[in-house]
Amino acid sequence: MIEDKERWNIRHVEKPMPHYVAPILEKYTELANVGMALDVACGIGRNTHYLADLGFIVDAIDLSDYALGQIREDKKIIKHEVDLDFYDLQKQKYDLVININYLNRRLLSQIPDALNKDGVVIFETFIVAHDKPEKGSMNPDYLLEPNELIKAFEGFNIIYYEEKDVINLRGEEARLASLVARK
């Protein structure tokens, strides 16, 4: 955990994430009942702040104490410094779960149970580009397989799903899977 934490702290300092809200979040957040939200791997809080400003009480979870330190103090934001490889999501707690640019398959499998009835999940992260293996330099352990994301939410009302080619934050070609679904 210490090595991962130091690596992420350094990454947040040397390659800061943008401060703008993820476009998928701006487009689909209104589908969720305002209540409890979870921001998985929240980083510096760009999406956490947005949700709190909309009235959500947000559990912001991340390993990086540096990143969590960048999140403003706010009675609607509860910061949790946790090792996401071992953290378990509480069942039936959230009206909205967001997971942007991060993949932990253990947590992915817990999201359906973490959502309340009619809860919404907004999930967007990178996928393997089998047809173009030269795309991107990301570790394949942290990339979804094609259609893996939609299969993880089988039985949900799928509102939006897309897999597409994009330019990632490092300026590299990549493939992205985006999903919005209601339990």
> Domain containing 139 — which CATH number?
3.40.50.150
Instruction: Select from 144, 129, 131, 130 the least CA-distant residue to 174.
Output: 129
161 and 150 in contact (C-beta within 8 Å)? yes
Q: What is the pLDDT of residue 168?
A: 75
Q: What is the pLDDT of residue 58?
A: 98
Q: Kindly give the confidence (pLDDT) of every residue in the chain, 183 residues in length, as a single tens digit, with 9 standing for 90 and above.
A: 557 667 655 665 666 666 689 999 999 999 999 999 999 999 999 999 999 999 999 999 998 888 898 899 999 999 999 999 999 999 999 999 999 999 999 999 999 999 999 999 999 999 987 555 544 456 777 899 999 999 999 999 999 999 999 887 667 788 999 999 999
CA distance 20 to 50: 9
96 and 38 in contact (C-beta within 8 Å)? yes
Q: What is the pLDDT of residue 167?
A: 83
Largest CA distance in the chain: 47
Rg (CA), the chain: 16
Q: What is the pLDDT of residue 12?
A: 54
Element (H, E) at 77: strand 77-81
Q: What is the pLDDT of residue 14?
A: 65
Beta-sheet pairing, 115-127 with 57-62 = unpaired
> Which two three-digit tokens encode residue 18?
């943008």
Q: What is the pLDDT of residue 66?
A: 80
Instruction: Select from 83, 48, 67, 82 the least CA-distant residue to 10.
Output: 67
CA distance 68 to 107: 19
Domain span holding position 142: 2-182
Number of domains in the chain: 1
Q: What is the pLDDT of residue 87?
A: 96
Q: What is the pLDDT of residue 92?
A: 98
State if pTM tops 0.85.
Answer: yes
Give me the sheet containing 157-167, strands edge to edge.
Answer: 77-81, 57-62, 36-40, 94-100, 115-127, 173-182, 157-167
